Structure 1
């Protein structure tokens, strides 16, 4: 009997050992950040640490053992898995939900392999394969670490070889697990003309979801970019914060779920709303990328990390140049002809900007585009307005020493158009249901290869007609109502295939015209994501160009996007003086939408000088490090600085934002990003003709003094905008 007991004990011990796996630690490291993944005794891959990099990398394996949570009889078994699948132990919000070929809905992922590839000196790709033992199914987790920028891109590849197709019910790009006592979410909600309104809130019990089901203009209601602070709300320069953004131009979903008192799980990816995806055996499903950065020094550093990454790796021509624009939209709207446009081209030269941009209204003949309810989709120049065609405008621009640009909205169609009449099968709509319009238009079915060819040819033909074409403004003004493709066999794939179709068109355009600047516009800033910005040099933040409102809009975009990508135009909107409007627009990529011929003499002189001045320092704005100095939400004055790489020069924008009468700001504003050992002089620039500055341009200050004590720009209700230029003094 005793021998039998010993034998059973030995057998049980052997089985236990067989099911126990050696712990493996996977380190995804940047210059200052570590993301640590570890396997447990069941060979599950856990996310055990995201934070500041340790000095000794040999200490990472000890992290897992420090978690002393032991679930009791009434506790959920909440493993901190690196990618959460549903149907087994996990009962909270998953990243992955599958219906397998046999109808089973459970997936259990175990660690299989890891591969590391040094892409170049700065980038390292870590790919981890997880497999389900029961099914011939696997997930590849990809982590691309950008060492110098402290940024990680994360995405997933899903494939299988089951007997028949499986259904992906949810397929997030990433799960991130953060540990802390409290978590605070900074997110953004929007509407037309009021983009990127900010709110920050503590994440309490339950799930906070930010999502889009709109099909196009994916950021109209919520932004797919966010920040999460750990333990307490981070300030500009203190606290732990994660900044993240989903690289996807369609429906998205961001889930923030607290659990087990000390954890937050962030799940980011395509919105699975109405989008069950049927995956065939051998087919590879690749999710969009989720990009994020960790900062232990507040929101400012997180922003600079994202901006540096974007300029170097994601934004088209992010380290290149940009063209300044005179746009005719708010000058003429739909009412123009050859003669008016000729004068506007001459005004472009007079003002000193680079491009004359012809906006909406230049096309349509059977249904002329004289207002927003007709002609969209018929991309032939209007012979009544432009008797010599758009090709003549390109030549006219060249003759005047400026470049020519044009507005297109190739994804859309008006019901009152020849395209609508000829190709009803190219239009997204439900059969036998009422058509619903946004801005009098419908969306073309980009899941259809014929529509993709049509849109590509619209752009290509425009280049053929105007070989001098140097700029495109690409608009997108309608959401997708009654979502249905007349040709797509599986409507569950519709929202995904639309974005894939759009990207396929943009890939073709960029293959033929790789560097022509293109502005991304969507009824304002409602399609702003880093997937789209692979193809566009810049974006239009809002149709609201009132400079007071723009201070706040541009401030919020600055948390995630570099200034070189943000188009800011001076217009007639708002009652502020032209100096205030110009100073606000300089905090990005400068442009104009004004009646140059109607500007008072001093305003014209000021504007001409402002363009020249901007050209002298724009490189600092576009490529320098950005520091938000004083928040417009909490102070009488907003202040933001841009410092060049060697800390020799800086440009500081200061705007008076008090809405009731106040005296000027009494306290100095502390500067950031300077060299404490360098000496600087400060002078006010971009003065209106006939005015003088109270700033003493002869005084010298140390960088140490300016960062610890600060400087008062003397901005007030009479001096509503002040631009300062700092220049290091040679020793």
Structure 2
């Protein structure tokens, strides 16, 4: 019996010591148990992210969500989480910037190999500060250091108070005796606690951009990324949503909208950890991009942009729109110009006289700009198709014997402006540029060349290539000072990634984008007010990293209006309408009115043969340009409310409301032609003021037809938002635009 008592006693002691060690371990690594707390509250108007350094100086995220009225109460949050039998043995699942090696058991935000070959990293809190940039913007910096190595990371949190928007990035530096190899280098490492997580991501390809997919995140890691080098948006855009507890709707639910501000390879890790918390790590993709960092050199990551709302996707998207117009998109609070493009009228087959007539058509149509697209350059290898000439930016003497300057003057005679297409980053093998500078081309010297749209990518990590790109714009603007619009295209992805300039090939993907931004910065510094369209074989490059240099972006080469309704609807969550380039073309089987009404959802343009329009079609287009200009301020600068989703209903409906709630415009489109499809019930409007009265009037009516709606009907805002209004969309009225004005 004594033996059994002794064994039982020893077993009890072992259990007690084990439990004691677990308690000690948790108390020394988990912020909720620490005696000494350093809290860092980073707050917008309505939301907060709260960081805490524990007694071991490890920095964790203890809260992300709605802002508390009393900031002192944030420190009580960790102790409120009680999970039976769940223990974070590492103590850093909730890390604000998770290092690889050492005690980490989950996906890292940063991974390095030190100069001495050590692969572990321990980042500890040192200090933080907050600087007020202006009445709305502040910047919080947090310094982390490794206690064993002269290696540090500074985390940056830029807060846009009233927009409820944050940008987050990191700067990595060291003073070791030799280079440190960076294997992963995220911009942001966020941490969330909820019962469930729902991801709305996007995928696609050329002419199929922004196809949504919504799924519940389950334990493990979901990775969103691009490895294309350029055109990062082609298969997988860097923008997404995460809903908490249940999928958010337009007006209800907790949701985060996020986007990586980078025009190259990006990566987003969404990891549901063993404790059912969500870890979100976002930034540049580390694929084939190990970076050798010299002592005292700084490695700055791109920003990760996000906004959070407890009132659904609609409010979150309006937050981003306000931020983008105020702080990011070039001239985001200004105006835009309508245009006529020649591409679908002529493709490569044009000459000076044909273009002169098209310039006159632009005047006849009533638009502001005539845009000359691809095919105007190359002499030794004329650009008569997409197989030759790219890179040789001299006017084709056969097509344009008097040069671009003649066309600029023709446009000025007709009281329209002149714009031009360029694709400066690319080269055809059949070009003088390729023959003279094969070392400027990204290509493996010992492999067959793989072409994408018959072209290759120039090596923008090379300063000489950067200078060449800037010279393209200088030549155009110096010779043609009246040039008033640029369409910047980018059609190829990077195959056989190899640089004759780079000493370390793993730097190419990153330094390419850095070189691209240097070019854009230089061009913008010289020509700060010229409107520029960001195009990439359609919507292959749509991100806020590039959009700071552009006034707008090309949504897709797919201009079928039915398809565009769906694409434009999804893009509208992340980018305001003032940045959407929408053109009326001959794609699709819908009538001209439908095509035009859809294009009016953003920045209106035309890509049609004006001379072939019949009398009524021409009259309609001319009046549509006038109508568009009467409501464009609401479209460009108003608050967007999505009323009926095209994916869930027979018709799509959305409206833009100006800031003082005195005027709105409502777009309605039939997306299902089945029998009886249409607006059988009134649509509840949003964003109006309940105690105001509003007139509702249909505009953009095709000549010879009449509206079926009562002319200038007047309702209270309360009625329109509670009961609604039926736009009478059906197979005979496939698109309806309503102008809504306050009646005083």
Q: Tell me if structure 2 keeps the 8 A contact 1:362–1:386.
A: yes
Higher mean C-alpha displacement, 487-496 vs 50-59: 50-59
- Tell me if 1:36 matches 2:50: yes
- Tell me if 1:428 matches 2:442: yes
1:211 to 219, 222, 225: 225
For 2:6, the equivalent position in structure 1 comes to none
After superposition, give the CA deviation of every residue in 1:580-624 in whole Å (9 maximum; x if it has no partner). Answer: 001000000000000000001000000000101111110100000
2:285 to 271, 275, 280: 271
How far apart are 1:575 and its partner, in Å?
1.4
1:612 to 620, 623, 626: 626
1:389 to 403, 428, 432: 403
Q: 1-side partners of 2:617 and 2:340: how far apart?
A: 16
Instruction: Show the 5 A alignment for 1:294-333.
Output: 294-333=308-347
Q: 2-side partners of 1:314 and 1:350: how far apart?
A: 34
For 1:259, the equivalent position in structure 2 comes to 273
* Residues 1:115 and 1:76: Cα distance change in structure 2 (over 3 Å): closer
Aligned residue pair count? 716
How far apart are 1:663 and its partner, in Å?
4.0
Q: Tell me if structure 2 keeps the 8 A contact 1:21–1:42.
A: no
For 1:441, the equivalent position in structure 2 comes to 455
Q: Tell me if structure 1 keeps the 8 A contact 2:29–2:56.
A: no
1:572 to 579, 586, 592: 586
How far apart are 1:694 and its partner, in Å?
1.6
- Tell me if 1:475 matches 2:518: no
For 2:252, the equivalent position in structure 1 comes to 238
For 1:550, the equivalent position in structure 2 comes to 564
Q: 2-side partners of 1:18 and 1:330: how far apart?
A: 63
Instruction: Show the 5 A alignment for 1:644-655.
Output: 644-655=658-669
For 1:107, the equivalent position in structure 2 comes to 121
Q: 1-side partners of 2:610 and 2:86: how far apart?
A: 74
How far apart are 1:68 and its partner, in Å?
3.5
How far apart are 1:465 and its partner, in Å?
1.7
Q: Secondary structure at the match of 2:477?
A: helix
How far apart are 1:70 and its partner, in Å?
7.9
Q: TM-score, normalised by structure 2?
A: 0.95
Instruction: Show the 5 A alignment for 1:520-535.
Output: 520-535=534-549
1:679 to 693, 700, 704: 693
How large is the Cα RMSD of the aligned pairs?
A: 1.6
For 2:644, the equivalent position in structure 1 comes to 630
Q: 2-side partners of 1:487 and 1:44: how far apart?
A: 41
For 2:188, the equivalent position in structure 1 comes to 174
After superposition, give the CA deviation of every residue in 1:649-706 in whole Å (9 maximum; x if it has no partner). Answer: 0000000011423243211111111111111111111100111112113432111111
- Tell me if 1:157 matches 2:175: no
- Tell me if 1:360 matches 2:337: no
Q: 1-side partners of 2:88 and 2:246: how far apart?
A: 30
After superposition, give the CA deviation of every residue in 1:128-176 in whole Å (9 maximum; x if it has no partner). Answer: 0011111111110000000010000000011111111111100000011
- Where in structure 2 are there 5+ consecutive unaligned residues? 1-23
For 1:376, the equivalent position in structure 2 comes to 390
Q: 2-side partners of 1:75 and 1:147: how far apart?
A: 36
* Residues 1:713 and 1:443: Cα distance change in structure 2 (over 3 Å): same
- Tell me if 1:495 matches 2:506: no
For 1:9, the equivalent position in structure 2 comes to none
1:193 to 185, 189, 207: 207
* Residues 1:556 and 1:73: Cα distance change in structure 2 (over 3 Å): closer
* Residues 1:701 and 1:137: Cα distance change in structure 2 (over 3 Å): same
After superposition, give the CA deviation of every residue in 1:692-725 in whole Å (9 maximum; x if it has no partner). Answer: 1121134321111111111110001110000011
For 2:717, the equivalent position in structure 1 comes to 703
- Tell me if 1:560 matches 2:574: yes
- Tell me if 1:586 matches 2:600: yes
- Tell me if 1:712 matches 2:709: no
- Tell me if 1:344 matches 2:358: yes
How far apart are 1:487 and its partner, in Å?
1.3
- Tell me if 1:138 matches 2:138: no
* Residues 1:486 and 1:722: Cα distance change in structure 2 (over 3 Å): same
- Tell me if 1:98 matches 2:91: no
After superposition, give the CA deviation of every residue in 1:243-283 in whole Å (9 maximum; x if it has no partner). Answer: 00000000000111101343111110100000011111111
Q: Tell me if structure 2 keeps the 8 A contact 1:21–1:43.
A: no
Q: Tell me if structure 2 keeps the 8 A contact 1:38–1:64.
A: no
* Residues 1:21 and 1:427: Cα distance change in structure 2 (over 3 Å): farther
For 1:450, the equivalent position in structure 2 comes to 464
Q: 2-side partners of 1:474 and 1:21: how far apart?
A: 57
Q: 2-side partners of 1:293 and 1:507: how far apart?
A: 27
- Where in structure 1 are there 5+ consecutive unaligned residues? 1-12
After superposition, give the CA deviation of every residue in 1:548-599 in whole Å (9 maximum; x if it has no partner). Answer: 0000010010010000000000001111111000100000000000000000
Q: Secondary structure at the match of 1:531?
A: helix
Q: 1-side partners of 2:737 and 2:527: how far apart?
A: 37
Q: Tell me if structure 2 keeps the 8 A contact 1:680–1:701.
A: yes
Q: Tell me if structure 2 keeps the 8 A contact 1:117–1:125.
A: yes
Q: Tell me if structure 1 keeps the 8 A contact 2:203–2:209.
A: yes
After superposition, give the CA deviation of every residue in 1:183-203 in whole Å (9 maximum; x if it has no partner). Answer: 000010010001000010000
Q: 1-side partners of 2:90 and 2:231: how far apart?
A: 39
Q: Secondary structure at the match of 1:294?
A: strand
For 1:248, the equivalent position in structure 2 comes to 262
Q: Tell me if structure 1 keeps the 8 A contact 2:191–2:279.
A: yes
For 1:5, the equivalent position in structure 2 comes to none
Q: Tell me if structure 2 keeps the 8 A contact 1:525–1:542.
A: yes
4+ residue segments displaced more than 6 Å:
16-21, 70-74
For 1:621, the equivalent position in structure 2 comes to 635
Q: 2-side partners of 1:25 and 1:212: how far apart?
A: 36
Q: Tell me if structure 2 keeps the 8 A contact 1:325–1:355.
A: yes
Q: 1-side partners of 2:54 and 2:681: how far apart?
A: 55
For 1:3, the equivalent position in structure 2 comes to none
* Residues 1:337 and 1:83: Cα distance change in structure 2 (over 3 Å): same
